[in-house]
């Protein structure tokens, strides 16, 4: 399983765009990149997943460069309720769903 590296913490203010970058230098050809969000005292929740280029949903965008050695989760116009830990995971398509959660990035949004 590819190892991921992401910042331990980030601070932002309401209304700003937040970009969290994840490094995964050893990503394999068949690996997908997935982001989960975890609020305090809750289980993680799926945000977005991608394989290459750009993916966008109602919550976030995921940018993946051509070499796929990194990816960036973009949260547009964050609010206080986006304060959470964000995990970047890289996994093979058919490996039994074994997800490796690193330490994640603790995002703190201030008023």
Q: How far apart are CA 49 and CA 32, in angstroms?
A: 7
> Please, what is the minimum distance in Å from the beta carbon of residue 60 to other proteins?
14
Q: How many residues touch other proteins (CB under 8 A)?
A: 26
The 64-103 site mask, x for binding other proteins (CB under 8 A), equals -----------------------x---xxxxxxxxxxxxx
Residues 6+ apart with CB under 8 A from 109: 11, 12, 13, 14, 18, 78, 79, 80, 81, 82, 83
Q: Which residues here bind other proteins, judged by CB under 8 A?
A: 31-32, 34, 36, 41-46, 49, 87, 91-104
């Amino acid at each position: 399983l590819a190892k991921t590296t992401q910042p331990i913490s980030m601070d932002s203010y309401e209304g700003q765009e937040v970009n969290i970058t994840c490094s995964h230098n050893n990503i394999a050809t068949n690996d997908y990149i997935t982001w989960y969000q975890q609020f305090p005292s809750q289980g993680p929740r799926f945000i977005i997943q991608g394989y290459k280029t750009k993916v966008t949903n109602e919550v976030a965008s995921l940018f993946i460069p051509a070499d796929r050695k990194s990816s960036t989760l973009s949260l547009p116009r964050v609010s206080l309720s986006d304060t959470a830990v964000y995990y970047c995971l890289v996994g093979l398509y058919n490996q039994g769903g074994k997800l490796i959660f690193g330490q994640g990035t603790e995002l703190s949004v201030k008023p």
